[in-house]
Amino acid sequence: MARRRGLGAAGLGVATWPLLACFGGLLVLDRAGFVPAPGAPGAGIAFLLVLLLAFGALWWGLRRLGAATAAAGDVPVAGVLAVAVVLRLLALPLAPSLSDDVYRYLWDGRVAASGANPYLLTPDDESLAGLRDDLWETTAHRDVATVYPPLALGMFAGAASLPRPFLAYKLALAAVDLAGCAMLLLLARRRGNAWMALAYVWNPLLVVEGAGMGHVDVLGASLVIGCVWLLSDGGRRKGGRPDGRPDSEAASGGSRRGRRRTQCAMSTESQTGCAEGLAPPGRRSTQCAMSTESQTGCADVLVGLPKDTREAEGLAPPGRRGTRWVVAGVVAALAVLAKLVPLAVLPLWWRGAGGQRRRFAVGAVSLLLPAAVGVLLWTRGVPPGLVEYALRWEYNGPLYEPLWRLIGTLRLDLAVSGVVHLVRVIFGGEVGATPWSTLYSYAYPQFLARVVLLAAGAVLWLRLWRRRPEPARAAFGAFAVVLLMSPTFYPWYLIWILPWAALTGARAVLALAATLPLAYLPALAGLPYFPWVYGAVWLPPLILLLLARRRPEPPSP
């Protein structure tokens, strides 16, 4: 049989040169001073157009590589990562023009490195006047304390302490990003769909928002990828178990293993009898010899069992038993300490750990508990920045934006105020007294929409809990619930779900990566957000989602 040739550098070059050219164009625009800014709508529109072309180039390259991979049989991980490195090198020099969050990161890092408390002190606090310079001038939301967890703050502080903090921070973030890409590629290759992971590894949104704009979400998303890798033991092959066997074979093998373990247990009892001289004298030598052979066979059986099975049933070597699950818990905790979003999926991973729940919990709690206690003690309660974010931040929420407008149009907020008034009359109390004044103050459309979406999100999350999805599906489902129900959906938030959308072939989410940058248009070009920009962002993915529901669902990864 002729050996299939792998996909070489020439094939990768042909498939990726348009994508690389688009990022080269973004860099040329940036170096020429044609940078997106609120007062320069032309520059902003030009940047977004080139970025949209980059998505077209990615789609063209993936189609070409999909056909080539089918013929060649594999994806060259080293070559794919080399292209990913070049893309990020082209994005690293970009100015943070789409978002100024990186300035806030470095300011919070400077405050933390100085020994002050960024969870309590806002950038405008006079006690921080000695730290102010041009960085402070460019920092946004100076009236709000930081919202970032300890791992993210540690990364910010480390970069802020170096001579070139912007470059140091973006280089570190790009390195973490590439590590996550490598793990996702290996995970996808073991599942039999490595080329689909390229929709994440080369995704223009990931490259621009990560290496370009420096969003810390890349750190958390990469840690989530690492956790799924550990929980999946290197990835499940399509239609099978972690060891690559089909489910039917695993099921039939389970009954055989059950019989073998029973025999092994009987053999162990027999060996004990031999050792204690309890076997009948006339048959002792024969029985003990047979028992020794049986024990040898049992050892071979146990060694041949899949690693997951040996660990779950306590058959793995004592020194290595469950170590992977403890490490997975630690990595999951690190993801939460980078940004709080993975809190939505951590309980699902714990539930899916089966007999290894205790080890996974030990790994996670060993980091999360001291970090949470430390922050709560340091801030003497919940960080005020988190409260501000939960109550004030809103933009581009897919369900939130139309819902609060609908509540206002139907005057449902007035109906809620009427209910509060009726309850107050029944139980007595003044309008300005607690708790009535608080209840009246929250009876407005935006807050009511948050409450409705929070309740809906809880219901959807509980459905995930009952289904016990495997780790990658759990990440996809949990992040989908969080993002759909969130009042705020900045373009870089999609990075959390993008790896799992790529692996599962969720075309609607991949299309959303191309349309989400349009959400920058109101700030860059002064266009009204609702309904035109909102529709441009969300309608194309919605159409693809509706079309996909009419087709057979793709197999789970």
- What would the DSSP string read from start to end of 235-252? -PPTTB-TTS-BHHHHHH
Average pLDDT, the chain: 85
pTM of this prediction? 0.84
Judged by DSSP in three states, 555 sits in: coil
Q: Are 201 and 181 in contact (CB under 8 A)?
A: yes
Q: Are 116 and 133 in contact (CB under 8 A)?
A: no
**Quick check: 220 pLDDT over 70?**
yes
Q: What is the pLDDT of residue 243?
A: 35
Q: What is the C-alpha separation between 470 and 282, in angstroms, rounded? A: 55
Q: What is the pLDDT of residue 15?
A: 87
95-109, 199-213, 320-334, 492-506: range with lowest mean pLDDT: 320-334
Q: Are 284 and 274 in contact (CB under 8 A)?
A: yes
Tokens (6 digits) for 380: 């003497």
Q: Which residue has the tokens 């581009």?
A: 396
**Quick check: 313 pLDDT over 50?**
no
**Quick check: 99 pLDDT over 50?**
yes
User: Average pLDDT, stretch 372-389?
Assistant: 95
Q: What is the C-alpha separation between 536 and 282, in angstroms, rounded? A: 88
Helix count (H) and strand count (E) of the chain?
26, 0
What is the gyration radius of the CA atoms in the chain, in angstroms? 28
C-alpha torsion sign, points 230, 232, 234, 235: negative
**Quick check: 259 pLDDT over 70?**
no
Judged by DSSP in three states, 40 sits in: strand
Q: Phi first, then psi: what are they for 140, rounded to 5°?
A: -90, 160
Cα–Cα nearest to 445, from 414, 422, 424: 414
Q: What is the C-alpha separation between 20 and 13, in angstroms, rounded? A: 9
Q: What is the C-alpha separation between 238 and 240, in angstroms, rounded? A: 6
Q: What is the C-alpha separation between 258 and 412, in angstroms, rounded? A: 61
**Quick check: 328 pLDDT over 50?**
yes
Q: What is the pLDDT of residue 487?
A: 98
Comparing 231 with 71, the larger pLDDT belongs to: 231
**Quick check: 242 pLDDT over 60?**
no
Judged by DSSP in three states, 325 sits in: helix
75-84, 121-130, 175-184: range with lowest mean pLDDT: 75-84
Q: What percent of the chain has pLDDT over 90?
A: 70
User: Average pLDDT, stretch 110-132?
Assistant: 97
Q: What is the pLDDT of residue 344?
A: 98
* Residue 252 pLDDT class (50, 70, 90 cuts): very low
C-alpha torsion sign, points 92, 93, 99, 104: positive
**Quick check: 324 pLDDT over 50?**
yes
User: Average pLDDT, stretch 54-64?
Assistant: 94
**Quick check: 365 pLDDT over 90?**
yes
Q: What is the C-alpha separation between 387 and 379, in angstroms, rounded? A: 13
User: Average pLDDT, stretch 304-308?
Assistant: 46
CA angle centred on 413, ends 394 and 461, rounded to 5°: 55
Q: What is the pLDDT of residue 264?
A: 47
User: Average pLDDT, stretch 107-128?
Assistant: 97
Helix (H) or strand (E) holding 375: helix 357-379
69-73, 91-95, 390-394, 418-422: range with lowest mean pLDDT: 69-73
User: Average pLDDT, stretch 461-489?
Assistant: 97
Q: What is the pLDDT of residue 552?
A: 61
**Quick check: 450 pLDDT over 70?**
yes
C-alpha torsion sign, points 305, 308, 311, 316: positive
**Quick check: 245 pLDDT over 50?**
no
3-class DSSP string for 466-493 = HHCCCHHHHHHHHHHHHHHHCCECCHHH
User: Average pLDDT, stretch 45-56?
Assistant: 97
**Quick check: 389 pLDDT over 70?**
yes
Q: What is the pLDDT of residue 98?
A: 96
Q: What percent of the chain has pLDDT over 70?
A: 80
**Quick check: 125 pLDDT over 70?**
yes
Sequence-separated (6 or more) residues with CB below 8 Å from residue 93: 27, 30, 31
139-143, 239-243, 271-275, 476-480: range with lowest mean pLDDT: 239-243
Q: What is the pLDDT of residue 102?
A: 98
Sequence-separated (6 or more) residues with CB below 8 Å from residue 60: 15, 18
**Quick check: 303 pLDDT over 60?**
no
Comparing 2 with 201, the larger pLDDT belongs to: 201
User: Average pLDDT, stretch 38-58?
Assistant: 95
Q: What is the C-alpha separation between 491 and 489, in angstroms, rounded? A: 6
* Residue 308 pLDDT class (50, 70, 90 cuts): very low
Q: What is the C-alpha separation between 391 and 447, in angstroms, rounded? A: 8
**Quick check: 67 pLDDT over 80?**
no
Q: What is the C-alpha separation between 525 and 48, in angstroms, rounded? A: 11
Q: What pLDDT digit, counting tens, does each position of 403-429 carry?
A: 999 999 999 999 999 999 898 888 887
* Residue 398 pLDDT class (50, 70, 90 cuts): very high
